[in-house]
Amino acid sequence: MQPAARGGGAGGVGATPRTSTRTSLFSMPRFDFCLTPREHVNAVRSNPTLGLCGAPLCSGIHQESELSIVRIPRCDIPRCGQCAVSGDLDLADSLELSLVPEPMAVGSTALQKNLQTAKVVVREVFAELEARCIEEKNQYEESSTVPPRHKLNLWGTYTSKARLQRFAADSIEFVKQNAECRTRLLTTAQLRFLILLQHFIAEDTSDFYRPETQRKHQDSFEGILTDGVNSQLVKDAHRSEFSVEGQSFSLELPQDLDGELHEEQRQTIEKFQTEFVMALETYLLAYCNRRGLSPLGTRRMAQAVTTQMSQAGLANLDRGSQATRYFVGSHGLDQRTAYNLSTMQTPEHGECLKLSILCMKTGFCQYLEKDELLRMPGVDCPKRCKPASYLYQYATLRFMPGPPIDNCESTICTLLDALDEAHIDPAGF
């Protein structure tokens, strides 16, 4: 069995890289059963400012004022990474997040209810993250194991009351400004998915602006024209499908019975990696040049974008996703991941980068429910399901330059819209 949370790609037939401009990720028949109304998908193709819900992507215009958020004191530099050693934050450890309802604007019933649900979700998810870190920290102490620096930073982040207060306030602000949250009523599971996804992509991006000794991740970077491409993206490039402003990059390799790559295949992969990375770097450099970013700001932007195009982006999709409730069988499994990078124009922010991430699993005929495994440890009885079953995840992220941090332009990553669907159709007996 394969856990649904694992990233990766599926193989196929042939071994020829495709880099034509005729293929669109949104037109791939693999994604035809997406439950988004067809007319919305067609509208997105012709208008990049629309989300898959059919509504305009969040622009910050016409924002209602529903909650008064009493924030804790914070420094003037957003997510500067220095707050971990700031003595001022100790004063905030005992503060509570205060969410005071205010009169609602006309037509904002859906948002009002979403905010009420979001307050509960926010408290739960950050309490879970705190508890998880405390448990992991105790395990290291009990085994007398010295934790790595990035683990210490992770624990420090989610066991600090001040930071948790800030995360909670930022999450509520995200819900208020997200177009999907403003326009339709969302379930608790949907809000949990959106809130966690926004939090983790924002934290990934902010991590690049912290001193290395305070970072929660240990990603490495490389490249041909730059040194800002996530190494995991380069390593796994041949396992996914990519589109860079309409130019498609994908590689299909024949399945070997022994599962080993032969020398000819390795050379094919290396050639594909080089072509793709150069095209990606050229595109990112051109965008950063148009926005007038400094060399360091350009590198940070490239790091932020390519990190979400790697396994890190898939991991963020999985956290809070309904798909992670299931382990699916590897027999017949077809897993496909796709990334679509383009630009979008917004009235407030000008030209921004837009990254769409899709992950789908089909073809499996067996599955296990994680909740059942937890209730009955040691019992491994796969259930059968019909071929129409699938797991589907989608997200659109926006990247844009932000206020300077230590004389370097910051990068702001915002979740615009997302879908999370787990459709398991049990087979009859």
Angstrom CA distances, 292 to 296, 300, 341, 410, stand at 12, 14, 20, 13
3-class DSSP state of 63: coil
Weakest-pLDDT range from 83-87, 122-126, 182-186: 83-87
Query: Which residues, 6+ apart, have CB-to-CB distance to 352 below 8 Å?
Result: 343, 344, 345, 346, 398, 399, 400
pLDDT at 1 over 70: no
User: pLDDT tens, 173-206?
Assistant: 999 999 999 999 999 999 999 999 999 999 999 9
Query: Which residues, 6+ apart, have CB-to-CB distance to 80 below 8 Å?
Result: 209, 210, 405, 406
User: pLDDT tens, 405-427?
Assistant: 888 999 999 999 999 999 999 88
Weakest-pLDDT range from 54-63, 138-147, 249-258, 403-412: 54-63
pTM: 0.75
Q: What is the pLDDT of residue 380?
A: 65
- Which of 26-35, 49-58, 418-427 is most confident? 418-427
43 or 208, greater pLDDT: 208
370 or 9, greater pLDDT: 370
Cα within 13 Å of Cα(40), Cβ side: 14
Closest Cα to residue 19, out of 262, 309, 277, 343?
Answer: 277
pLDDT at 310 over 90: yes
Q: What is the pLDDT of residue 376?
A: 64
Q: What is the pLDDT of residue 259?
A: 59
Specify which residues 410 forms β-bridges with: 402
Angstrom CA distances, 182 to 124, 140, 185, 236, stand at 22, 43, 8, 37
